[in-house]
């Protein structure tokens, strides 16, 4: 008699009164159909699905603007239009440009880099709740979904960075050896985005109201990230009673990645001393904590 048949026979015979179903299954070598694998095994499974992640991200990019007349051009037009509105508000009406050299490059760099993080985290938060039919029909590591959303935004960023480079050159900047560090800064930001996306994916899977709160959270994060203003200049003017705001702004991961990119693209921009250290810390911390936090609920996604 096979082990499953033996377990059924024991259950039908009544078995010891103290045996729970879990004890009975364990005694006969049975396990749950959907169980969380060990962390190393989970990483191996995710690596084996790397081609799926890339194909899924690419197909989402292709289909995203398929119904619009301008198609993929919206990948570039959306951040450019946002930058134009912000320049009108902060550069012209509030006259921020008088205190910041090359404010056009300063602002557009901030908008493009923040948009990369904003879209990745927002997409990650909806990656599980928005794909329940796939999750319930197919067996695969669920982390593949927020990872695919991060890859999708990285593909869009490649086009945006090309436009950003042209705009920066048109504002009078020159190509320097510091541009060689642009991939390093983007990799650090991508690693942070993946970790934050995984973290928010678990929250979004079980706290459905998060989709309603996320736009307000992202808008607050936008205004606290120095996209429109210089954080070092602002924190120096803060009274001592508001000193905690200084640490909140300086430890903001989005602000760190924006400052790094401005330093690499704009010759007159000097990044704060905390920028590189903050960027590296948040990349490592977000990936480790976000991946672990997501993996802990692997068997719960798609249930209920």
Give pLDDT tens digits for 64-104. 766 776 666 777 777 778 777 877 876 667 666 667 888 88
Length of the chain: 304
Residue 50 sits in the same domain as residue 21:
no
Same domain, 48 and 25: no
**Residue with the two structure tokens 């901030």:** 110
What 8-state DSSP symbol labels residue 140?
S
Looking at the fold, whether 125 and 243 belong to one and the same domain comes out as: yes
> Encoding tokens for residue 33?
């159909």
Of residues 210, 290, 226, the one with CA closest to residue 258: 226
Rg of the chain on CA atoms, in Å = 24
Domain total of the chain? 2
Same domain? 170 vs 120: yes
CA quadruple 201, 207, 210, 211: dihedral sign: positive
pLDDT < 70 positions in the chain:
1-22, 24-34, 65-66, 69-72, 90-92, 94-98, 236-243, 304
> Same domain for 222 and 264?
yes
Question: 235 and 131 in one domain?
Answer: yes
Buried b / exposed e across 50-88, counting CB within 10 Å, b at 16+? eebbeebbeeebeeebeeeeeeeeebbeebbebbeebbe
Q: Note the pLDDT of residue 18.
A: 46
Per-residue model confidence (pLDDT) at position 63: 80
Residues 144 and 282 in one domain: yes
State how far the Cα of 289 lies from the Cα of 142, in Å rounded to an integer. 16
- Domain of 292? 37-300
Residues 64 and 26 in one domain: no
pLDDT for the residue numbered 96? 63
Do 136 and 7 belong to one domain? no
Same domain, 24 and 90: no
Same domain, yes or no: 96 and 244 = yes
- Both 76 and 219 in one domain: the answer is yes
> Which residues are CB-contacts of 267 (< 8 A; sequence separation ≥ 6)?
173, 174, 176
Task: Return the pLDDT at 29.
Answer: 59
Residues 108, 78: Cα–Cα separation, whole Å? 12
How many whole angstroms separate alpha carbon 96 and alpha carbon 101? 10
């Amino acid at each position: 008699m096979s082990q499953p048949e033996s377990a059924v026979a024991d259950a039908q015979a009544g078995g010891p009164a103290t045996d729970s179903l879990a004890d009975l299954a364990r005694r006969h070598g049975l396990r749950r159909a959907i169980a969380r694998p060990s962390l190393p095994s989970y990483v191996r499974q995710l690596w084996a699905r790397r081609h799926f992640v890339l194909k899924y991200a690419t197909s989402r990019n292709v289909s995203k603007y398929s119904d619009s007349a301008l198609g993929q051009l919206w990948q570039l037009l959306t951040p450019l239009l946002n930058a134009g509105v912000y320049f009108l508000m902060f550069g012209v009406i509030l006259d921020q440009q008088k205190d910041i050299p090359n404010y056009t490059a300063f602002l557009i760099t901030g908008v493009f880099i923040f948009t990369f993080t904003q879209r990745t985290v927002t997409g990650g938060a909806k990656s599980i709740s928005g794909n329940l039919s796939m999750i319930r029909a197919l067996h695969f590591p669920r982390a593949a979904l927020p990872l695919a959303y991060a890859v999708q935004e990285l593909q869009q960023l490649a086009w945006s960075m090309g436009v950003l480079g042209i705009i920066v050159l048109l504002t009078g900047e020159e190509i320097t050896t510091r541009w060689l560090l642009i991939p390093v800064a983007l990799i650090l930001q991508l690693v942070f985005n993946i970790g934050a996306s995984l973290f928010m994916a678990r929250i979004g899977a079980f706290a459905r109201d998060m989709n309603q709160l996320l736009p307000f959270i992202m808008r607050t994060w936008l205004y606290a990230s120095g996209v429109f203003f210089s954080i070092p200049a602002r924190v120096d003017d803060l009274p001592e009673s508001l000193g905690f705001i200084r640490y909140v702004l300086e430890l903001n991961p989005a602000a760190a990645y924006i400052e790094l990119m401005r330093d690499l693209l704009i010759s007159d921009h000097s990044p704060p001393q905390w920028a590189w250290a903050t960027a590296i810390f948040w990349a490592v911390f977000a990936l480790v904590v976000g991946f672990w936090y997501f993996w802990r609920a692997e068997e719960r996604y798609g249930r209920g």
